[in-house]
């Protein structure tokens, strides 16, 4: 699974005016929500929204978080990736993988 960066940064966008502390609090709430909702599989998120927990881990690294790939995923999952997969991951059916590929086509290309 992969996701493209799609920041659509625009100085006139009200999102850019959000205080960093407010934005950080909202991000942490999102991550905690995803940690609680293990029933929302990464594949489900990819199909519906074109991103998943692993994308969030990549994005925090892109933003400058001092983690390697596994470390960033542990921050987002709240546990090592191997443990998360063992406890919560379900294998994808071919139709789910096809739906994910179609969803990813809607993502903006990485700059």
Domains of the chain are 41-106 (1.10.3340.10)
Per residue in 13-47, pLDDT (tens digit) is 898 889 999 999 999 999 999 999 999 999 999 99
Residue with tokens 């929204």: 49
Residue 41 has a pLDDT of 93
Give the pLDDT mean for 75-86: 96
Cα→Cα distances 41→20, 24, 67, Å: 29, 23, 23
Candidate ranges 11-15, 67-71, 106-110; pick with highest mean pLDDT:
67-71
Q: What is the dihedral of CA 30, 31, 35, 40, to 10 degrees?
A: 60
Give the predicted TM-score (pTM) of the model. Answer: 0.82
Q: pLDDT: is 12 or 23 the higher one? A: 23
């Amino acid at each position: 699974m992969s996701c493209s960066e799609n920041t659509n940064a625009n100085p006139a966008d009200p999102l850019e005016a959000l205080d960093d502390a407010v934005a950080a609090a909202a991000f942490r709430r999102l991550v905690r929500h995803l940690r609680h909702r293990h029933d929302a599989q990464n594949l489900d998120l990819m199909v519906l929204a074109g991103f998943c927990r692993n994308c969030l881990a990549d994005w925090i690294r892109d933003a400058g978080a001092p983690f390697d790939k596994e470390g960033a995923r542990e921050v987002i999952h709240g546990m090592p990736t191997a443990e998360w997969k063992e406890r919560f991951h379900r294998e994808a059916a071919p139709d789910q993988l096809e739906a994910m590929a179609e969803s990813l086509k809607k993502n903006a290309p990485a700059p």
